[in-house]
Every structure is written in C-alpha cells, then in structure tokens.
Structure 1
Amino acid sequence: MNYADYDVPEDLVFRTKDIIRMKGLKCSAKLAPKDFENILSEPNKITSVKVNLNFSISQKDILVQGRVYGATKLQCGRCLDIFDGSFDEEFIETYSIKSEIIDIMYEVIQTLALIESITFVCDENCKGLCDQCGKNKNKENCGCVRQNFSAFAVLKKDK
C-alpha cells in the first residue's frame, strides 16, 4: 500500500506492527546529507540522499526493497579536480515479522559505503596529471617530454 499521509521517520526506524497493520507500505524520503558525512573519504562528500522503500509482508517475514540515490561532490582519481557525481543503488533485506523495529538507516549506510570502493573519474577521457611537472593535462599542455620509463629498465643493464 502507498500511504501519502504516513510520516516516514527521520531515522528510518520503522515499527513492525505499523507495517503489518497497513499490510505493507511504499514510501519515500529525502534524507539529510549531514547524516552521511563520514561515509566517503575526504574530500568526497554526499550532497543529497533520497530513498524509496517497498515493504511486503509474508507469513513469517517482511521483505524490504529499497533504492538509495542522490548526488555527490567527488575528486577525480586522475586529475584531482572536484566534480559533481551521482549514485543509484538498490538493496533487498528480509526481517522477521516478530521483530519490534526495522532499521532501514543501517541498510542505507551499508549501501552508501559500497560506493566508496569505486575509483571516481571526472570523465572517461580524463588525461590526468603530468608525471613530470604535475599540471592538469586536461586544462593545459605543459610541453614536458614524456620519457619512456620502465621499472624493468634496470634489468636490461649489463652487470
């Protein structure tokens, strides 16, 4: 059921008896980015978070299907510039019908933690930084001569 007048708790902790009484629930909420300040490593940060939830009831369990999406400010792993990014992740979790509460905030935090392991790149064609002078090659051509350096070059030398 979709209840427009249902007040989604800010902490996303739902009472199981409410979900059972309503015979399920579909709802959405906009969450405060400050609640997720420590999810991504600096200087990356989450700037907006929204969640869509669908609670379904069976004889023994409550199935929760969730979608967490929003916006970020991220640092490119190649050129180190900050750029706007986005995320859109889903989760599915089952809770016992005998539980008193269903803590969805835990699921949201776990879902957001998974986006940290991705290396962020501002553009797939990002040229990165010059390995000689450190200038951003997307913004200017520094003119440095690229040397063909190989970590294995020392092995070619005569003893």
Structure 2
Amino acid sequence: MFKFNISSVLSDETASLDIKAIDDKMTHIRYGKNHYKLLKPIDLVGTFTNVGNQIIQFKGCIKTIIQLQCGRCTEFVEYPITIDFTQRFSAHNIETFEEDDIQIIEGNLVDLTSVVLEELQISIPVNVLCDEECKGLCNSCGINLNKKSCSCTATDVDPRLSVLKDLI
C-alpha cells in the first residue's frame, strides 16, 4: 500500500514532501484475466509538491521486475519495469477545476496504490521475447527449438490448412 500523509504540503503553498516506499506484500499484478508475478517488490520514489491553486502534484518513479512469458517459446522472462509518472490531487471539489486529471482527496491522506497499479498494468507489453533470436516452438510437435531440435520437416502442414498451400 502506498498511503501518504500530505498535511504539510496542503497547508503551505511552497512545500514539498519527498517519499520513498517499497511494497513487498504485493506478489502479483492482475490485468484483465492475466496474473503477473512480481519478482521484485514495487519501489516508489517521488515528490509531492504544492503547485498553487489548491493543487498537489506528485512526480514519481515506479520500479519493479515482473515475470512474463516469451511470445514464441513460452519460457518465463524477467521483465524490468521503470515508469516515470505525474498525478495531481486536490482536497477541493473537482467542479472548480477545468482539468480532468485531478483526483479529489479527502483529508490529508493520499493513496497512490491504484495509480501505481494502473501505471504498471498499462506498461505490461502485449508480447515479449526471451531473446531476439528465439526460435519458438515447433509447429508440429511443440518442442522448444531453443533447447532441442526435432525431426519434423518444414513441409509438414496442418491438414486443415493444406488448401492454403495450393494458393501459393
């Protein structure tokens, strides 16, 4: 959890508050139907700054390592993530602001947990490779071609797709 008391920043228009936090309790990230294992605790470093007009701005950096599967051979891959982001907050009604990116807070506590999770979720790539030269899996027998070779021939075609062969 990434909850911070920012009362000193709220009360002084020239104030700022540096934070550093590590969440070692979170072990997985859920995104849609997928679950991604965290191999390193989420590290959050940043600064809350009173930027005037009753707005508090947080500029921070998230670092962690997640486990993904190679898109070709399905082996697990360690994927380091570093995300720089900015989020703005106010303790006042959002109707007084024209901008949509300001989150309303109640009291002196700011919970960045949902912001951190959202930033992590949108940074997960759709496809990652264990190596640029990954050979993937054999289309016929399914063996990992990075580890072993197989006796299947390149001319072996799925019988359901054989009609397409005649088009070439």
Q: TM-score, normalised by structure 2?
A: 0.73
Task: Check 1:154–1:79 CA distance in 2 against 1; reply closer, same or farther (3 A cut).
Answer: closer
C-alpha change, 1:156 and 1:124, in structure 2 (3 Å) is: closer
The 2-side partners of 1:66 and 1:151 are apart by: 54
CA deviation map 1:36-62 (0-9, x unaligned): 5242524x3112211111111122211
Q: Choose 140-149 or 89-98, whichever is displaced more.
A: 140-149
In structure 2, which of residues 30, 43, 65 is the aligned counterpart of residue 50 of structure 1? 43
* Structure 1 residue identity aligned to 2:4: F
> Once the two structures are superposed, what CA deviation does each residue of 1:104-125 show, in whole Å capped at 9, x if it has no partner?
1111011111133431221121
1:104-143 mapped onto 2 (5 Å cutoff): 104-143=112-151
Question: Corresponding residue for 1:89?
Answer: 83
Number of equivalenced pairs: 145
CA-to-aligned-CA distance 1:8-33 (integer Å, 9 cap, x gap): xxx3222331333571112211112x
Q: Which residue number corresponds to residue 71 of structure 2?
A: 77
What residue is the counterpart of 1:37 in the other structure? 28
Letter in 1 for 2:23: L
- Does 2:93 correspond to 1:102? no
- Measured on the aligned residues, the alpha-carbon RMSD in Å equals 2.6
**1:25 aligns to what?**
17
Name segments (4+ residues, structure 1) moved above 6 Å.
none
Q: Determine helix, strand or coil for the equivalent of 2:49.
A: strand
The answer to which structure has the higher strand fraction is 2
**TM-score of the aligned structures, taking structure 1 as reference length:** 0.77
- Whichever residue aligns with residue 144 of structure 2, its letter is N
- Offset at residue 152 of structure 1 (A): 6.7
| Identity across matched positions, percent | 23
8 A Cα contact 1:90 1:111, kept in partner: no
Closer/same/farther in 2, CA of residues 89 and 18 from structure 1, 3 Å limit: same
How much has 1:155 moved relative to structure 2?
A: 7.0
Larger mean Cα displacement after TM superposition, 49-58 or 143-152: 143-152
Residue 6 (structure 2) aligned to one of 16, 20, 23: 16
Aligned equivalents of 2:80, 2:65: Cα separation in 1 = 4
CA distance change for structure 1 residues 36 and 63 in 2, over 3 Å: closer, same or farther? farther
The DSSP-based 3-state class of the residue aligned with 1:39 is strand
